[in-house]
Amino acid sequence: MKEQAAKELKKPDLDPECTFKPKIRSFNTNNTLSDPLSIHERNLQWKERREAKLAMTREITKDKDLIGCTFRPNIVNTFFE
């Protein structure tokens, strides 16, 4: 163990203060290949869900704005009488 550490420190390209060695996983392409939906299709689905959610939010806020309105005009159509 100590011998291995000593050998690594003797390497000229390694700085003795830089001992961090991250554990990096290799990129797995199987997940993207097995996904039946393309990126474009997933983006379209996301866009549809987003637009539906925005439309619902607009409806709710519009209804909330009308709750405080108490004025109800009494319109009489005298043009045809």
- Give 7's pLDDT tier (boundaries 50, 70, 90): low
Rounded to an integer, what distance in angstroms lies between the CA atom of residue 32 and that of residue 37? 9
Any idea which of 30-34, 38-42, 45-49, 75-79 has the lowest mean pLDDT?
30-34
Rounded to an integer, what distance in angstroms lies between the CA atom of residue 21 and that of residue 39? 34
- Give 71's pLDDT tier (boundaries 50, 70, 90): confident
The per-residue pLDDT for 42 is: 92
Q: Are 8 and 14 in contact (CB under 8 A)?
A: yes
- Give 50's pLDDT tier (boundaries 50, 70, 90): very high
Average pLDDT over residues 41-47: 94
- Give 68's pLDDT tier (boundaries 50, 70, 90): confident
